[in-house]
Structure 1
Amino acid sequence: MMLVVLGNTEVSLIPGISMAGATPELTKLTPPADAEYLFYERPKIIDAIPVTPEGHPTPAIITKAAKELAGFPIMVVRGGTYMAPLVPHIHISSHVGRDFRKEKALPEAREIMERAIILGKELNRLNPEELVIGESTPGGTTTAQAVLWALGYDAKTSSASPKNPQPLKEKVIAEGFKRAGIKEGELKDKPLLALEEFGDPMMATVIGIARKFKGKVILAGGTQMLAVAALLRAMGEELERFTIVTTKWVIKDRSSTFKETAEELGVEYQYANLDFSKSRFKGLRDYERGYVKEGVGAGGAAWLALKRGFTERDIEGRVEKLYEKLTKSP
């Protein structure tokens, strides 16, 4: 089973910090549009799939391709977004993460986790051996880096752009730490406070589900899932039953510390080795140049398809067909 947890944070509205939308304002629509695209030919909430400012397609196209090939079920979870997706979903919260430079990011973190814990318990009744959890959270790599720094990890998160806006992220995080009156590592023994001060609703939702689900948990995402793993560890969870599954583009990203931070945390990771270098479409070929990289559980969805006997080439071929449909749509 696969969950896709949707979250928004006001951090995505800071110009230049998120590539998960054509403009900062449109990042408000990205999570529900991503979820809708998994089930429809096009999203319902907007008449286009989410794209980067340069026009590169959402990684939901990979998740959709893998789902169509392998036929695994996807359940959408609204962790905290501006708007609900126009597909059947589980509602946890409508609380959006605040701009942590100005105020606490998520004072509702405990409430969100408590609701998500109920979902985790109920999922056990279905007896799945493992649960794959992906996410769509514009601005989430910045909240992730802030949480990792607060917990004492010298981490750098990735970006949907080949030009990772690390200087801007670090400036924003420094302003947030100043507002909160803390230094790096000062909240290493206070994970809930780190989540409240700098996190986002996706993190709180995934943590609540994962803590009470008894089986193996696949954290389907890139550097954002490192923050989730770090919070789980700080909350006393053993990470042996957790694996982060991502894409090769995250692993190869030299502007982030994915591998180093994963090793420091002691969390296992795997990746899907997709390759769009020979694609007919520039929007897909540019994935090989460092655009997009991961999101909407793309790596985990590909991993599920691979487990069911499909190949990376099968997934790439289905992505090509889906992209071609989009280019021909009115």
Structure 2
Amino acid sequence: MIRVYTQLAQGQRWLQQYQGHPPVLACILGFTATGLIPGISAAGATPSDREYTAIADAEFLVNGVTSKPQYPLPPLTAGASPVLISRAVVEALDIPIYLFNAGLLHPLAVPAIDLGGVPAKCVTSGNALPLNTVKQLFEQGVKWGQQLAIAADGYLIISECVVGGTTTALSVLTGLGIDAVGKVNSSHPNCNHTQKWDVVQIGLRKWAEREMGRDLSSIIPSPHHPITSSSSVDPLRLVAAVGDPMQIVAAGMAIAASCRCGVLLAGGTQMLAVYALAEALASRASLMNQYSLAWQPEQVVVGTTRWVAEDSTGDTVGLARKIGTVPLLATELSFATSCYPQLQAYEQGYVKEGVGAGGCAIAAYLYRGWSQIQLLQAIESLVERCCQS
């Protein structure tokens, strides 16, 4: 039910260490105006729908099926929201949920921990978030990482919901000097690499011109010759320029929690970017000393779905290898035999991942030894209740 794609020995050790242990789920919600660019994401049929995707997913994650949700799950181009997978697992396994608002456009319909963030401007602005806000969100991530590590008997699942987040992930990865072009994923069946890269180039160029104080308009950032490098870039300033509010919270949370417990970064491209960001932050000795942190990367894995890991229109495994020593895990969950076309759409490349779906599926096997059949039955039962409500 779980396959390890990179850093096999480390990934297997992590799985053995936390087998049978109950997880705690943190879900970090954020918004970037990048998600409103026409065609950038399929996580909501229209830009207007995408304003509410995270809000609707959060409501369903916490409340499950209700007769009159304040924000029903938004219509997708095809397929069903990945929160159905996450909810099926947390409901059946009684996994504690901690919901965090890192910066949303609209108020939530369910209780959440407000981290004092703001929605990010579009990546193309090169000025996505105020630097002070990024620093505050990092501090909040550290604080809650320390607290949740104490609450977790075994490991902490860190998940996200940010529409347009694979584009901000590409921005941050490129800014860190990692060749991620053509390797990221998306909610589209065929990843829109050209559109994403066009957006990223604009944002990074604007940031470089402003940050370096000279005209770089003639320079097009290249993954082989990035305008920044992992050794020179300030990761906090990078997120402020082209990131989203979830990323810095998740990175701070992962670093802090790794000191005391296992960490499962639940997602694909977005969580690989969070891992790379955490490594960049951890390399800053002054920052780690300021918060008395000691990054423990052997405690951290990235866990996603097979649909992401084996997406032929991206290269998640190659991206993980570019980042370095990150173990990439994936659930082998399949919807090929599902009686619901909304779920079968995942096998055609739609949706793929989100709201910690892959991480929760991994936890179902790791904690309770669920089989493919048990997991599929739990998800289909939830879909059936949704159809009847």
* Gap regions ≥5 residues in structure 2: 1-23, 210-220, 283-294
Change over 3 Å in CA distance of 1:55–1:93 after alignment to 2: farther
TM-score, L = length of structure 1: 0.94
Residue 124 of structure 1, aligned match among 142, 149, 153 = 149
Residue 82 of structure 1, aligned match among 84, 91, 105 = 105
Q: Partners in 2 of 1:198 and 1:241 — Cα distance?
A: 28
Q: Secondary structure at the match of 1:181?
A: helix
The one-letter code matched in structure 2 to 1:315 is L
Q: Structure 1 residue 188: deviation in Å?
A: 1.6
Residue 205 of structure 1, aligned match among 242, 246, 249 = 249
Change over 3 Å in CA distance of 1:259–1:185 after alignment to 2: farther
Q: Partners in 2 of 1:185 and 1:259 — Cα distance?
A: 25
1:196 match: 240
Percent of aligned positions that are identical: 35
Change over 3 Å in CA distance of 1:63–1:100 after alignment to 2: same
Mapping of residues 30-179 of structure 1, within 5 Å: 30-38=53-61, 39-42=63-66, 44-46=69-71, 48-52=72-76, 54-107=77-130, 108-126=133-151, 128-155=153-180, 156-179=183-206
2:355 match: 296
Q: Structure 1 residue 88: deviation in Å?
A: 2.3
Q: Partners in 2 of 1:55 and 1:289 — Cα distance?
A: 10
Q: Structure 1 residue 143: deviation in Å?
A: 0.2
Q: Partners in 2 of 1:124 and 1:109 — Cα distance?
A: 22
Q: Structure 1 residue 260: deviation in Å?
A: 1.1
Q: Partners in 1 of 2:388 and 2:152 — Cα distance?
A: 42
Q: Partners in 1 of 2:170 and 2:178 — Cα distance?
A: 9
1:230 match: 276
2:374 match: 314
Q: Structure 1 residue 238: deviation in Å?
A: 4.7
- Which ranges of 4 or more aligned residues in structure 1 deviate by more than 6 Å? none
Residue 38 of structure 2, aligned match among 8, 12, 15 = 15
2:12 match: none
Q: Partners in 2 of 1:252 and 1:298 — Cα distance?
A: 16
Change over 3 Å in CA distance of 1:28–1:94 after alignment to 2: farther
The answer to whether the 8 A contact 2:255-2:296 is kept is no
User: Do structure 1's residue 287 and structure 2's residue 346 form an aligned pair?
Assistant: yes
The one-letter code matched in structure 1 to 2:242 is F
TM-score, L = length of structure 2: 0.80
Q: Structure 1 residue 228: deviation in Å?
A: 0.4
The one-letter code matched in structure 1 to 2:86 is T
Q: Deviations over 1:153-194 (max 9, x none)?
A: 111310111121111111111111221136425142322222
Deviates more, 1:82-91 or 1:29-38: 82-91
* Gap regions ≥5 residues in structure 1: none
Q: Secondary structure at the match of 2:320?
A: helix
Q: Deviations over 1:244-281 (max 9, x none)?
A: 01000001112222111212221011111111112112
Q: Partners in 2 of 1:188 and 1:138 — Cα distance?
A: 26
Q: Partners in 2 of 1:318 and 1:260 — Cα distance?
A: 32
Residue 307 of structure 2, aligned match among 234, 243, 249 = 249
The answer to whether the 8 A contact 1:141-1:224 is kept is yes
- Equivalenced residues, count: 327
Q: Partners in 2 of 1:324 and 1:317 — Cα distance?
A: 10
The one-letter code matched in structure 1 to 2:374 is D
The answer to whether the 8 A contact 2:25-2:96 is kept is yes
The answer to whether the 8 A contact 1:187-1:193 is kept is no
Change over 3 Å in CA distance of 1:51–1:241 after alignment to 2: farther
Q: Secondary structure at the match of 2:156?
A: strand
RMSD over aligned CA atoms reads 1.6
The answer to whether the 8 A contact 1:132-1:217 is kept is yes
User: Do structure 1's residue 261 and structure 2's residue 305 form an aligned pair?
Assistant: no
